[in-house]
Structure 1
Amino acid sequence: MMDFLEQPPRFLFFTGKGGVGKTSLACATAVRLADSGRRVLLVSTDPASNVGQVFDTQIGNRLVTIDAVPGLTALEIDPEAAAGAYRERIVGPVRGVLPEDVVRGIEEQLSGACTTEIAAFDEFTGLLTDDALIAGFDHIVFDTAPTGHTIRLLQLPGAWSGFLESNDNGASCLGPLAGLEKQRQQYRAAVAALADPLRTRLVLVARAQASTLREVARTHDELAAIGLQRQYLVINGVLPAAEAAGDALAAAIVAREARALAALPGAVAALPRTQVPLKPFNLVGLPALRALLDDNAGALSTTPAAPANAPGALPALATLVDELATAGHGLVMLMGKGGVGKTTLAAAVAVELARRGLPVHLTTSDPAAHLTETLEGSLQQLTVSRIDPHAETERYRAEVLTTKGKDLDAHGRALLEEDLRSPCTEEIAVFQAFSRIIREAGRKFVVMDTAPTGHTLLLLDATGAYHREMARHMDKSGITHYTTPMMQLQDPAQTRVLIVTLAETTPVLEAARLQDDLRRAGIEPWAWVINNSLAAASPTSPLLMRRAAAEWAQIDAVRNLHAQRLALVPLQAEEPVGIARLQALAAGQRHS
């Protein structure tokens, strides 16, 4: 039973950790509704949207009719274009009015990922509140719902006016939010629509994996706390138990998924739930989308041909660790989409370096990471830490109120306190902790498991803003020799960035976009790691064999188009938890 499709309201939002299948489910839902005679608008707010690829249609930032599905129209909101228009709307009227250095300061505050997120929200709130714009549609289906981060921003109650002409504390949400003042009525209406179960259904998408289920539980709690109480749960890609017969790998996956689902937290377990079985085919094209929800997969059973070059042509993770170890120290950062296994791979790299007698500090900036649970043990040369966003934020707030706030009057202090309650404050505080830790990389290895891509980009924004501010101060002072965290990240002799992905379309697209963002920041990724590969695991289950063969298109895309160095890590029969299994993962043999 597809509970989330029963008596659907006008607005449906699909949200969840990266790589869980939000786009596929949103597209399949839109097709199902259109096939039933409804007029449907499908909207993607994902920067790495592949909705156009799914329908084999060029879409972009405009309404496009999907000819093959009568009644279906699609729109891909371009966050970068939205951010550009948003910046110009704010900055344009003050050019030539305010001093040039003030205008540059405003542009600087509006250059980060926070502005991009807010601008994208600005775009699609019109789809929630502009009756004239959506009058022709019975349903609006959103791929990637608004984040709790953005909604919390919009609920901050203060009256912001004018522009923040200086900001010595780091990046702030109030710069981007200054442009929202005239539209606060629209935003209040949008948030109200999101919280109204008669108008909006929020669908949480997860996989039957402990990490994604923990993430969906956090998302549930955060959104419920801001009024989005009525939620549905979809567990996507569950391996059918029948596939376990005669295949040890498939049997281990079936057992692992059953354990994860049995351990669902109570609040999430109580939600209306739908389980969608794993399909043997890529979810591209209308037949695949219709089969996703109808389970009509018979016509899609053709197995893709595996290429002549087997996985043995690709190095294992051990090859990258060998090369990393030669430097003796440095910063190793694992980046990528949520759900690709960064925490496990960071732990495996750190364990293997420590096993070789090298001093290693393993840390994470991901609030959802559980490094100690992954390690389940200790090594003599290995220290482990976690950048606790809550603790770092409280420390940062206290510091700012003690310094910047000590001479303010009551009104000024109240505005400063409100600024410090915004979610971006957490990003600044995490950046400061990050800066402290990476200084250790001059004498030991620092292996960092970063937060999912969007949060990582916010961290890089803060790093870049700090670098530019420091450079201006140093230039004015005549100081020519200095090092900022950004300079360390840009130095390939000090920092190695490993981009982690899966051999699937959406994770590879997002990883490629992350690589482009890093290059624009002057950071050249050192290597790519394709994790949890079925092609490298040699399954015998018919369904898994077909999925393994389908991976090769993405493996070849990474190898030929994106990566300077590449490692292929097979899907493990047992979860790589504990020192021994992490060592085995890092030293994994090549598969032929």
Structure 2
Amino acid sequence: EMKEQLSGSCTVEVAAFNEFTNFLSDKTLEQEFDFIIFDTAPTGHTLRMLELPSAWTDYLNTTSNDASCLGQLSGLNENRVKYNSALEKLRNQDDTTMMLVARPSHSSIYEIQRAQQELQQLSISKFKVIINNYIEESHGLISSQMKSEQDKNINHFTEWLNNNHAYYVPYKKQKEEGIESLTNLLNDDNLIENDDFIVEDHPQFNKLIDEIENSKVQYLFTMGKGGVGKTTVATQLATVLSNKGYRVLLATTDPTKEINVETTSNLNTAYIDEEQALEKYKKEVLATVNDDTPQDDIDYIMEDLKSPCTEEIAFFKAFSDIMENQEDMDYVIVDTAPTGHTLLLLDSSENHHRELKKKSTQTTSNVETLLPKIQNKNLTQMIIVTLAEKTPYLESKRLVEDLNRANIGHNWWVVNQSLVTLNQRDDLFSNKKEDESFWINKIKNESLDNYFVIPYRVLEY
């Protein structure tokens, strides 16, 4: 169980911050370089955790909170002074600037806005906001439509972006890897070549529907990193299957509640309010804390309950409550999926129930009923939703490795918003199409040919 707790994203962040502090405390490096640039930064949650006294004690040896994924820091206690020094450097405006980088998409800008708010609560106050891949000029119908979407998203956040004096990095046709390519980012020229890409043929979305119908699967979760289109794919699945006469429940955690489907006799929708679910779960956990528990330890529990794993567990518990009376549904489709790591935290024993029995006051019978169904590959499949790009592909691979550890089914991959199957020329994206072709081939191999491509939807004006 401790090994699984140490597999969480929070632990990875602490490990990264541990290395980060070595750089910050190295006087030789300070003298040798004018700038030290890190391509990642700790979240507000991790930094808050590192400031809590109980994070550095043996308190975690004497408590059992099924949401805890940070793992204890007492083994790193000799670095505590270094950590405090590093935090002070992050707060010093003369020393440190936090670069908040986003694509011009709603979800991406929203995430950096939220990250800034978290960091500001820790007295980190110097920021630069950078919007990357902004299309300055269109060169075809696809880039024209994408530019319109980008401008709409930017307009939504105009006040915040202006207040932060946001910088915009233009979309470049060239690849952004390697020293030479990165140097070209600073050039004003953006070499545009004719789009002579040969349209490719890949399995389409309707084939995925056929495979779902031919299987015995009842529960479908769309899984992927932010911005890949999980809600869109889940909505499409629910709509098509319900139109075929199946009884479908579509459950969403999308905070906008804009899943754009009409409830019909075959299609029902349920909204899981993640904030409400998290508050409910927090109350359940805190209700088990003894009255004589020191305040430092309570503070630790409160911060631990803000971890990503806790949010997933709270969601899973809320989802299990919704599922209590849904036996008559042919398909239950959910636009959010717990990671394999979270499922293992909930169910980390050989007989799949040690965690439940150990802390039964914190785990409802609905969860205990649902977990075996999720682990049954004949009943449940996670659909990996990704983009035909390097980072989404690598992140999806990590999610799959996580699911494999938890023995959770993931037969199908969906490549969303792809350009390679479109018979639509756009000179700005000729290189992008070549890149997509490369990553789709990787996805094809990784998924053992169980992949499906959804093209970018071009609206004819």
The two structures have a TM-score, normalised by structure 1, of 0.68
> What is the rounded CA distance, in whole Å, between the counterparts of 2:9 and 2:352 in structure 1?
18
Structure 1 residue 567 displacement after superposition:
0.8
Residue 358 of structure 1 aligns with an amino acid whose one-letter code is: Y
Residue in 1 that maps onto 2:213: 325
Q: In structure 2, do the counterparts of structure 1 residues 376 and 370 end up closer, same or farther at CA, with 3 Å as the change threshold?
A: farther
How far does residue 390 in structure 1 lie from its aligned partner after superposition? 2.7
Aligned ranges 1:289-438 → 2 under 5 Å: 289-298=182-191, 306=197, 310-312=199-201, 314-326=202-214, 330-364=218-252, 369-370=254-255, 372-375=257-260, 377-402=262-287, 404-405=288-289, 408-412=290-294, 415-416=297-298, 418-422=300-304, 423-424=306-307, 425-437=310-322
Q: 2:169 aligns with which of 276, 279, 292?
A: 276
The structure-2 alpha-carbon separation of the partners of 1:241 and 1:110, relative to structure 1 and needing over 3 Å to count, comes to closer
Q: How far does residue 548 in structure 1 lie from its aligned partner after superposition?
A: 1.7
Does the alignment pair 1:571 with 2:456?
Answer: yes
> Aligned partners of 1:152, 1:466: CA distance in 2, in Å?
31
2:132 matches 1:236? yes
| C-alpha contact 1:330 1:443 (8 A) present in aligned 2 | no
- 1:164-193, CA deviations, whole angstroms, 9 ceiling, x for partnerless residues? 345454132574244444433322222222
> 2 CA distance for matches of 1:530 and 1:284?
22
Q: Secondary structure at the match of 2:452?
A: strand
Show the 5 A alignment for 1:27-426: 106-107=2-3, 109-132=5-28, 135-158=31-54, 161-165=57-61, 167-172=63-68, 175-243=71-139, 247-264=140-157, 266-298=159-191, 306=197, 310-312=199-201, 314-326=202-214, 330-364=218-252, 369-370=254-255, 372-375=257-260, 377-402=262-287, 404-405=288-289, 408-412=290-294, 415-416=297-298, 418-422=300-304, 423-424=306-307, 425-426=310-311
Which whole-Å CA distance do the structure 2 matches of 1:318 and 1:525 have between them? 18
SS at match of 2:221: strand
Deviation at 1:569, TM superposition (A): 0.8
CA contact (8 A) 1:333 1:447 kept: yes
Q: 2-side partners of 1:159 and 1:216: how far apart?
A: 26
Q: Provide the identity percentage.
A: 33
Match of 1:495 in 2: 380
- Aligned counterparts of 2:451 and 2:55: Cα–Cα separation in 1: 51
What is the match of residue 408 of structure 2?
523
Question: Counterparts of 1:363 and 1:123 in 2: how far apart (Å)?
Answer: 40
2:353 matches 1:470: yes
Aligned-residue Cα RMSD (Å) equals: 3.2
Deviations 1:412-447 (A, max 9, x none): 476246413432344443342244446667542221
Q: Please say if residues 170 and 466 of structure 1, whose CA atoms lie closer than 8 Å, have aligned partners that are also in contact.
A: no
CA distance in 2, matches of 1:518, 1:569: 23
Aligned to 1:26: none
Q: Distance in 1 between matches of 2:432 and 2:57?
A: 54
User: What displacement does 1:472 show?
Assistant: 7.7
Separation of aligned partners in 1, 2:357 and 2:120: 46
Q: Which runs of 5+ in 1 are unaligned?
A: 1-104, 476-481, 576-592
Which SS does the other structure have where 1:532 is aligned? strand
Matches within 5 A, 1:448-459: 448-450=334-336, 456=339, 458-459=341-342
| CA deviations over 1:196-250 (Å, ceiling 9, x no partner) | 221111111122222222223222222222222222121111223242xxx3333
- Structure 2 gaps, min length 5: 359-366
- What's the offset of the Cα at 1:544? 2.0
**Preserved contact between residue 158 and residue 415 of structure 1 (Cα < 8 Å):** yes
Give, as a single letter, the amino acid of the residue that structure 1 aligns with 2:332. Answer: V
For 1:255, what is the secondary structure of its paired residue? Answer: helix
CA 1:250–1:268: 2 relative to 1, 3 Å:
closer
Give the counterpart letter for 2:260 in structure 1: L
Residue 358 to residue 370, structure 1, CA distance change in 2 (3 Å): farther
Alignment coverage as a number of residue pairs: 448
Deviations 1:471-490 (A, max 9, x none): 48879xxxxxx966554333
* Structure 1 SS opposite 2:186: helix
Q: Does the 8 A contact of 1:236 with 1:278 survive in 2?
A: yes
Scaled by the length of structure 2, the TM-score of the pair is 0.85
CA distance in 1, matches of 2:270, 2:296: 34
Partner of 2:332: 446
Shift of 1:133: 5.6
Aligned equivalent of 1:56 = none
**Distance (whole Å) between structure 1 residues aligned to residue 25 and residue 344 of structure 2:** 31
CA contact (8 A) 2:348 2:355 kept: no
What are the Cα deviations for residues 525-551 of structure 1, in whole angstroms up to 9, with x where unaligned? 211111111112233221123322332
Change (3 A) 1:421 1:505: closer
Range with greater deviation from structure 2 (330-339 or 385-394): 385-394
Using the TM superposition, give the Cα deviation of residue 466 of structure 1 relative to its aligned residue in structure 2, in angstroms. Answer: 7.5
Partners of 1:191 and 1:484 in 2: how far apart?
44
